[in-house]
């Protein structure tokens, strides 16, 4: 046993310590969450005014053309399924972004919505929405359906870089500085967004109002085609930064001595968070608290090992946003609640609980 420990690098020893006896539990949790994700997608596409049942949808997907009539096929495959898939992608990307930010900043309060990254991404998207027919028209024509996600990515990336620059000094990140800087950057982005909203016409103003509260009501296959490549690419990066985030929990100096390329890790993590958050905000608007609630719950259940935390966050975040969307479109039917209201109603008290639980440890 001692020989084996001697052969292991410090990073490997750290991962074994973090996993502890929770590795089987983590693997079981991921398997259950994967199953739950499939069930949540099926639940979403079969819930609503249509008479199509769970079994009818499965039969139609399996190749039985008579299982659904024309009306039900349109409802299921052109309205509900894009909405469910987009909800899963957005929820997963926000949850993974929260987990990566918490690992990068080494504290449980980091979240794209709370520290201004979502506001920055929203500002980028609003610039394209309001100015896409005038000043930004050539850029809009060049980028096509990717114009909105790319603009949101640019706004989110700029905000994340500024936040990290302000909050980090001598390799140490101040939690209080991070939160205060996030509030300031979010307020600045909000002010600039408000200026653009003031310039918007009536139709743009109506669109921006509902978009700002967060909704999946406008989900289409073209929106999925625009956002999915960016979100999936950010997902693909996470396995390569998980070990680095594990080492980073000991501090940047310790991670560097373990052989982790710290600066490259930070660059990849920042760009990944900005890309995922920007694409999500562009297609769904402002949906908060998913990025702080999901990773925190999973960290308490399966531990802080990012090799398991990141994939489980993607699965749980996607499933939870799907259920929140089902609630949003059924609780006041035939009207529809903005999904951001539901996530804020649940996430706000949860964040306060985390803050009270951590305040002594974080010296806030």
pLDDT tens for 80-122 read 899 999 999 999 999 999 999 898 888 777 788 777 888 888 8
Q: In sequence order, what are the beta bridge partners of 173?
A: 168
Question: Average of pLDDT values for 288-292?
Answer: 86
Q: Global pTM? A: 0.83
Asked whether 278 and 230 are in contact (CB, 8 A), the reply is yes
Q: How far apart are CA 212 and CA 73, in angstroms?
A: 31
Crossing angle of the two packed helices 306-330 and 23-45, in degrees rounded to 10: 20
Question: Average of pLDDT values for 156-175?
Answer: 78
Judge whether residue 10 has pLDDT over 70.
no
What tens digit of pLDDT does each residue of 332-347 get?
777 788 888 888 888 8
Asked whether 103 and 306 are in contact (CB, 8 A), the reply is yes
What per-residue string of b and e applies to 52-69 under the rule 16 or more CB within 10 Å gives b?
Answer: beeebbeebeeeeeebbe
Judge whether residue 297 has pLDDT over 60.
yes
What integer pLDDT is reported at residue 5 of this predicted model? 44
Q: How far apart are CA 157 and CA 83, in angstroms?
A: 26
What tens digit of pLDDT does each residue of 207-239 get?
777 777 788 887 889 889 888 998 999 999 999
If we measure between CA atoms, which residue out of 116, 284, 112 comes closest to residue 212? 284
Query: Which position has the token pair 């939870």?
Result: 320
C-alpha neighbours within 13 Å on the C-beta side of residue 345? 10
Average pLDDT, the chain: 82
Crossing angle of the two packed helices 221-248 and 306-330, in degrees rounded to 10: 140
Q: SS3 of 111, please?
A: coil
Query: Which position has the token pair 């046993």?
Result: 1
If we measure between CA atoms, which residue out of 301, 255, 324, 327 comes closest to residue 94? 324
Nearby residues of 320 by Cβ (< 8 Å), 6 or more positions away: 91, 95, 290, 293, 294
Q: How far apart are CA 329 and CA 338, in angstroms?
A: 9
Judge whether residue 363 has pLDDT over 80.
no
Judge whether residue 358 has pLDDT over 80.
no
Query: What are the start-end ranges of the H helices in 200-305?
Result: 202-213, 221-248, 252-257, 262-284, 290-302
Going by pLDDT thresholds of 50, 70 and 90, the confidence category of residue 6 is very low
Please report the beta strands in the chain, taking only residues with DSSP state E, as ranges in sequence order. Answer: 168-169, 172-173
Question: Average of pLDDT values for 7-19?
Answer: 50
Q: Which helix (H) or strand (E) holds 308?
A: helix 306-330
Judge whether residue 2 has pLDDT over 60.
no
What integer pLDDT is reported at residue 33 of this predicted model? 96
Judge whether residue 76 has pLDDT over 50.
yes
Judge whether residue 18 has pLDDT over 70.
no
């Amino acid at each position: 046993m001692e020989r084996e420990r001697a052969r292991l690098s410090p990073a490997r020893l750290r991962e074994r310590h973090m996993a502890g006896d929770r590795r089987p539990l983590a693997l079981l949790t991921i398997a259950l969450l994967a199953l739950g994700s499939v069930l949540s997608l099926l639940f979403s596409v079969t819930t609503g005014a249509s008479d199509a049942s769970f079994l009818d949808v499965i039969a139609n997907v399996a190749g039985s053309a008579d299982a659904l009539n024309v009306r039900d096929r349109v409802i299921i495959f052109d309205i509900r399924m894009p909405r469910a898939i987009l909800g899963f992608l957005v929820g997963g990307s926000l949850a993974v972004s929260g987990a990566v930010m918490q690992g990068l900043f080494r504290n449980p309060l980091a979240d794209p919505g709370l520290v201004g990254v979502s506001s920055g991404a929203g500002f980028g998207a609003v610039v394209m929405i309001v100015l896409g027919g005038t000043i930004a028209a050539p850029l809009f024509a060049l980028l096509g359906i990717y114009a909105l996600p790319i603009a949101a990515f640019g706004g989110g990336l700029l905000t994340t870089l500024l936040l990290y620059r302000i909050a980090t000094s001598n390799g140490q990140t101040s939690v209080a500085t991070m939160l205060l800087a996030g509030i300031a950057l979010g307020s600045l982005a909000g002010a600039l967004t408000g200026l653009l909203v003031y310039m918007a016409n009536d139709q743009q103003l109506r669109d921006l109002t509902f978009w700002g509260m967060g909704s999946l009501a406008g989900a289409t296959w073209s929106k999925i085609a625009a956002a999915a490549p960016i979100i999936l690419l950010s997902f693909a990066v996470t396995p390569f930064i998980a070990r680095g985030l594990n080492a980073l929990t000991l501090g940047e100096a310790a991670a560097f001595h373990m052989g982790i390329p710290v600066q490259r890790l930070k660059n990849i993590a920042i760009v990944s968070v900005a890309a995922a958050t920007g694409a999500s905000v562009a297609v769904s608007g402002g949906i908060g608290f998913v990025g702080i609630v999901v990773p925190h719950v999973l960290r308490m259940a399966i531990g802080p090992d990012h090799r398991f935390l990141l994939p489980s966050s993607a699965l749980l975040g996607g499933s939870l946003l799907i259920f929140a969307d089902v609630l949003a479109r059924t609780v006041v039917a035939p009207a529809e609640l903005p999904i951001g209201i539901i996530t804020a109603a649940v996430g706000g008290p949860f964040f306060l609980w985390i803050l009270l639980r951590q305040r002594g440890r974080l010296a806030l």
